[in-house]
Structure 1
Amino acid sequence: MTGLFPLNISLEEYELLSSCQKSPLVQHQNILIPVIYSIIVALGVIGNGLVVFVLCKSSSRKTVANTYILNLALSDLLFLLSLPFWAVYYSFDYDWIFGRLMCKLCGGLLTFNLYASIFFITCMSMDRYMAIVHPLKSQRCRNLCRARIVSFLVWFIAGLTTVPTIMFRDTHEFGNVTACVMHFHSPGWFVGLGLMKNTLGFLLPFVIITSCYCIIGKHLLMAPGLDKSTSNLDRVLKMVGAVVLAFFFCWFPFHTLTFLDVLVSLRFLEACNLEQTISLGIPFTICLGFSNSAINPFLYCFVGNHFREQLGGLTQACASNLSQKRGSFSTRLSSFSRKLSDLKDLAPIENGTV
């Protein structure tokens, strides 16, 4: 039995889907999804790893914006550690082979990142809004201490959101398959957590992010004395648009299907075809949402001139240090060779005096 256990399917959903299923589900997920996950892991680890490396090594890392970027990268890296387990899960036809503890831990990391990543992106948007639109006021409220406190609160709140997942996610036997699924004790938990994802994990952050960047764009366009034709302004506005669109397109499909899933569970919508579409579509919309962890470094760091300069400077510094070490080694080797040569020259004289 394959194709029945997406990452967030519940035991009750599985039983309902099985009762109305008229045709077998498609079988390509066990190949395609692991490939997609592998690409996300490769790009995400490289991108976020470079971000962490640059911000930890750079002398100018201690800024409010860099604090949020560093925490976002760490959150994405932590989440990406769980993706190989889910890739194996799909490739083994939804058979969880890693045990009950890892089922809960990996499920918790998925939920944790869903909230932490979006919260940090929201914090960065609000920080940019304050820095650009209210530069004088931001000098009083934007400081490292507050940024670290906010970052701690984000980690704490995201951690709290994982508690229900750790409680309800577990391994269950379905014939010869051990699935890692959510088993809610009452329908109200499924509805409540689904609506919390939609509201707290997407709708509210999207409204805040969109509002911040729309005001930023309007402020830049209407700023007195600013040349509206400058390439720098054009680049900033394009980046603003890219941030909002990337967030929307990565997460909107997943939250749309999650909301439809809630309506089906409440019997506001009843159709076997719709239930099958949701079950088949959610794994791929999850892939799209996960891709945001690989896209984030390119949106927030690599497109920025300052970050590229820092990366280039660190690269040159590493190359210079390596060159100095090689030069130092060559110098010591040359000195050692000269000493050997001197000893050889002295050897006949010493032999002659004995």
Structure 2
Amino acid sequence: MRTVTNYFLVNLAFAEASMSAFNTAINFAYAVHNEWYFGLVYCRFHNFFPIAAVFASIYSMTAIALDRYMAIIHPLQQRLSSTETRAVIGVIWLLALLLAFPQYYYSSTALLPGRTVCYIDWPEYTAVDFKKIYYVCVTLLIYFLPLCIMGCAYMAVGVTLWASEIPGDSSDHYREQLIAKRKVVKMMIVVVCTFAVCWLPYHVYFLLHQFFPDLFEQRYIQQVYLAVMWLAMSSTMYNPIIYCCLNSR
């Protein structure tokens, strides 16, 4: 079980389970009641951790895609060792925490008439619109860039694995290996597609919010936000089901 792919799957599962445990229920309570009950410290964590967890999730998937690419397209090259794999996971989390740090740093709470809110107090009156640049960078780094990398890697792997049929006179060991490789790649393609579908509306919503703020004065925009947030958070629920159905281990 201590394979490179499984190390990254464990990291992916840890990131998504953590977000489910620490953010999903809190998000729901805050969205429904529109009041923050949990104090400044948790407000900062609440805004900070999802960005880090999503970054760790998507780059774990990217690392799996690149590992599958190297194993199938360049089978004679040396694979990552266990130590190197853990080091890559550590780098992924370090970069995730750095990317999410602005959301921690600028998080604040405010007492409004009759309620308390948790929000991100972005700096104003600067030469550049830091908030807009940050959200564009987040969308590129945790959505479009990794999906492009994974798309290219799995396309090359898919052509290699499915373009040629299994020879009729091949050994049972060869046939079993090829079928096992196909199963792993199928599973990861389903995981990546699920992530892409769940998170696309979320990123589109926040990009539109930055560039077309007038759209967000409509009557039912809060319901739209709840639907988009629910779909994004629900992505953490699907992977265990996918693993169970498509991976016998």
Alignment TM class, shorter chain as reference: 0.7 to 0.9
Deviation at residue 147 of structure 1 after TM alignment = 0.8
1:261 pairs, out of 209, 216, 219, with 209
Deviation at residue 142 of structure 1 after TM alignment = 2.3
Matches within 5 A, 1:77-226: 77-82=17-22, 83-91=24-32, 93-137=33-77, 140-186=78-124, 188-223=129-164, 225-226=166-167
Q: What's 1:31 paired with?
A: none
Q: Note closer, same or farther for the CA distance 1:249–1:305 as it changes in structure 2 (3 Å cut).
A: closer
Q: Which has the larger radius of gyration?
A: 1
> Percent of counterpart pairs with the same letter?
25
Distance of 1:116 and 1:238 partners within structure 2: 21
Deviation at residue 305 of structure 1 after TM alignment = 4.0
Deviation at residue 250 of structure 1 after TM alignment = 0.9
Deviation at residue 264 of structure 1 after TM alignment = 2.0
Distance of 1:67 and 1:192 partners within structure 2: 33
Deviation at residue 256 of structure 1 after TM alignment = 1.2
Q: What's 1:247 paired with?
A: 195
One-letter amino acid matched to 1:71: N
1:47-83 Cα deviation digits (max 9, x unpaired): xxxxxxxxxxxxx3x2211111111111112212222
One-letter amino acid matched to 1:264: F
Contact 1:194 1:259 in 2 (8 A): yes
Distance of 2:244 and 2:136 partners within structure 1: 34
Q: In angstroms, what is the RMSD of aligned CA positions? A: 2.5
Q: What's 1:284 paired with?
A: 227
One-letter amino acid matched to 1:293: T
Determine helix, strand or coil for the equivalent of 2:123.
Answer: coil
One-letter amino acid matched to 1:219: T
Compute the TM-score of the two structures, normalised by the length of structure 2. Answer: 0.84
Determine helix, strand or coil for the equivalent of 1:141.
Answer: coil
One-letter amino acid matched to 1:248: A
One-letter amino acid matched to 2:136: L
Q: Note closer, same or farther for the CA distance 1:86–1:127 as it changes in structure 2 (3 Å cut).
A: same
Q: What's 2:238 paired with?
A: 295
Distance of 1:226 and 1:240 partners within structure 2: 25
Please say which of residues 240-249 and 147-156 is displaced more in the overlay.
240-249
Contact 1:129 1:215 in 2 (8 A): yes
Compute the TM-score of the two structures, normalised by the length of structure 1. Answer: 0.60
One-letter amino acid matched to 2:245: V
Give 5+ residue unaligned stretches, structure 2. Answer: 169-175
Q: What's 1:8 paired with?
A: none
Distance of 1:111 and 1:305 partners within structure 2: 28
Q: What's 1:12 paired with?
A: none
Distance of 2:237 and 2:68 partners within structure 1: 21
